[in-house]
Amino acid sequence: MSGRDQVLAKVRAALQTAERGAGPDGPRPVPAPGRRTRPDAWDADELADRFAERVDDYRATVVRTGPDGVGAAVAAALADLDPGTVAAPAGLPAAWRPDDALDGSVLRTAELPAVSAVVTACRLAIAETGTIVLDHADDQGPRRLTLVPDRHVCVVRTEQIVDDVDDAFAAMSPADHGPPGPGTPPLTFVSGPSATSDIELQRVEGVHGPRTLVVIVVGPG
């Protein structure tokens, strides 16, 4: 009997035993999935304010600007690195791209420790928790690109901000990419810089992931 058959046989036997042992009324019914009654949604301005406030709570840097200010905001976020090496994924809008940025989409793991900062877009952002979500598309690059360099500058357009984690999941169902297969993108939820509370539960920012996170929130101009 294979391990698979053994495990499944034990699961099925256990479910039957529990059913029999649950008394005359049978097992307690489980409510069907349904959307909870949700608090009122925020409007676009409230969403952006809430998002910015909560990113800031994580001790990340938040910069708010209009569509024409992104290039300058990116440059300011990198200014103190000079002469650091900056990378950006191939699909990043040209206006957001630092002039001398390496093509981050093709950098190999071994090359990344030499990169000081990376500039990317994101898939969406969550106001309730101050989270940016990456699906590692062409404007964000592979997972390693936003992991190894010590500074991550991420540009968020206000129309990408959703209320809460439930809305984020509703907006990013893998089913949108067709049936499960190699085309299903990985997702990374980032809430502030890397941190640990392992010593006396005191939060320390900056362990293995980027120690500095700069989020540029781009309003509708």
Partner 1 sequence: MSARWPEVPQDFPKAAKVTLQDEQLRANLGHATTAIRAKRGGVVAEVDDWEDLRDEGAAARDRALRALDERLVELEANVQAAGGVVHWAPDKAAAQRIVVDLVAATGSDEVIKVKSLLTDELELNPALADAGIEAHETDLAELIVQLGGDRQSHILVPAIHRNRREIRDIFREHLPGAGDVSDDPAALAEAARRHLRETFLRVPVAISGANAAVAATGTVAVVESEGNGRMCLTLPRTLITVMGIEKVLETWEDLGTILRLLPRSSTGERMNPYTSLWTGVTPGDGPEEFHLVLVDAGRTNALADPVGRDALRCIRCSACLNVCPVYERTGGQAYESIYPGPIGAILTPQLQGLDTAPTLPWASSLCGACYEVCPVKIDIPKILVHLRGRVTAETDASGKGHHAGVERLAMRSVARVMDSRPAYEAAQRAGRLGLSLLQHGNGRPGRLPGLKGWTASRDLPPPEPSFRSWWREREATGGAPSVGGASPVERPAAVGGAGAAGSVPLEVVVHPPGGRPGVVGGPGVVGRPGGAPTDPTRTAGDDA
Residues 21-60 that bind partner 1 (CB under 8 A): 21-23, 27, 30-33, 36-39, 54, 57-58
Q: How far is the CB of 17 from partner 1 (least distance, A)?
A: 4
Binding mask 123-152 for partner 1 (x = CB under 8 A): ---x-xxxx----x-----xxx--x-----
Q: Which of the residues 108 through 127 are near partner 1 (CB under 8 A)?
A: 109-110, 113, 126
Q: How far is the CB of 206 from partner 1 (least distance, A)?
A: 7
| Count of residues of this chain found to bind partner 1 when the rule CB under 8 A is applied | 81
Q: Is 14 in the site for partner 1 (CB under 8 A)?
A: yes
- Do residues 119 and 72 touch, judged by C-beta distance below 8 A? no
Q: How far is the CB of 213 from partner 1 (least distance, A)?
A: 9
Residue 79 or 201: the one with the smaller Cβ distance to partner 1 is 201
Q: Which of the residues 177 through 216 are near partner 1 (CB under 8 A)?
A: 179-182, 184-202, 204, 206-210
For the chain, the C-alpha Rg in angstroms (whole number) is 22
Q: Is 2 in the site for partner 1 (CB under 8 A)?
A: yes
- Which tokens sit at 182? 């190699």
Rounded Cα gap, residues 136 and 10, in angstroms: 40
Residue 79 or 199: the one with the smaller Cβ distance to partner 1 is 199
Residue 81 or 164: the one with the smaller Cβ distance to partner 1 is 164
Rounded Cα gap, residues 126 and 116, in angstroms: 27
Which residues are within 8 A (CB) of 19 and not within 5 positions of it... i.e. 6 or more apart?
Answer: 26, 27
Cα separations (Å) of 146 from 23, 142, 183? 54, 8, 20
Q: Is 95 in the site for partner 1 (CB under 8 A)?
A: no
Q: How far is the CB of 160 from partner 1 (least distance, A)?
A: 17
Neighbours of 139 (CB within 10 A): 20
Which residues are within 8 A (CB) of 173 and not within 5 positions of it... i.e. 6 or more apart?
Answer: none
Q: How far is the CB of 29 from partner 1 (least distance, A)?
A: 9
Rounded Cα gap, residues 45 and 43, in angstroms: 6
Q: Which residues pair with 76 in a beta bridge?
A: none
